[in-house]
Chains A and B, each alone.
Chain A
């Protein structure tokens, strides 16, 4: 369902990016990069709307003509970005939330792996498999 999944570290460099194999993968990398600005804006605006549910799920970051970009930030400032196809109109908010929850759980499990140093690129096969299962669901 998703077309691209990215995990970005707290210093804003990518830890992991996986896309559905297309010829123009670079376009997704650019989209994820530009969405980082929107994520930062949403995080810093929490101070003004403290009545808002202080959630980890950020929601739709911005729609382009072909794609919609969703964001999620953890308490440790690691950001997850999911890009989905706009033509997939049956995708509901709840499903995106569950996808993010799955990603978060997989990330936490991977972080607890003693062979993983925090801040390194993610090379765990288990994490990759979970992401792949999200990318190929239709």
Chain B
């Protein structure tokens, strides 16, 4: 299907552009900029996707929706593994993450991989914030193209 690639290419260019156009002092803000972009996108997306489904019973229900339906629509696959310690920390593992698939497996590009995870992290944070769950999302890559998103719920 042609449409999936369009978004992948756009995202790749977005990351490259942000890093290219940033001046020396702003280099470390690139990741935050991409994350903020993802945040707004996540908010709108979640509004559209939850339009027709029933209300969520609790937090775990929300996370399951995120892993199944949300991931399905955005990345055309589901999350491979969801783990939680039932105290507000969830780890989502995707063994073949869309944006990392294009890069060769192996150690060569591991250092640049986090740049491509900023936007997805922002999307998750935006989606959850609109559903009423405030959280911090971080991502790590241990072996391309698998990656883990760690979601830490902030309870006030």
Contact = CB atoms under 8 A, between A and B. Distances in A.
Contact of A47 (B46, B57, B131): B57
Query: Interface residues of A toward B: which range?
Result: 20 to 34
B156 to A, nearest CB: 13
Interface in B51-69: 51, 53-58
Interface residues of B, number: 17
A121 to B, nearest CB: 17
Interface in A73-116: 73-77, 104-105, 107-108, 111-112
Given A76-B130, A76-B131, A77-B132, A112 B48 contact: yes
Contacts of A77: 131-132
Interface string B20-52: 000000000000000000001001101110110
Interface of A: 10, 43, 46-47, 50, 53-56, 73-77, 104-105, 107-108, 111-112, 118
Given A43-B55, A75-B46, A111-B44, 19 more contacts: A47-B57, A54-B54, A54-B55, A55-B54, A55-B55, A56-B54, A74-B47, A75-B53, A75-B55, A75-B56, A76-B46, A76-B50, A76-B131, A104-B51, A107-B47, A111-B43, A111-B47, A112-B44, A112-B47
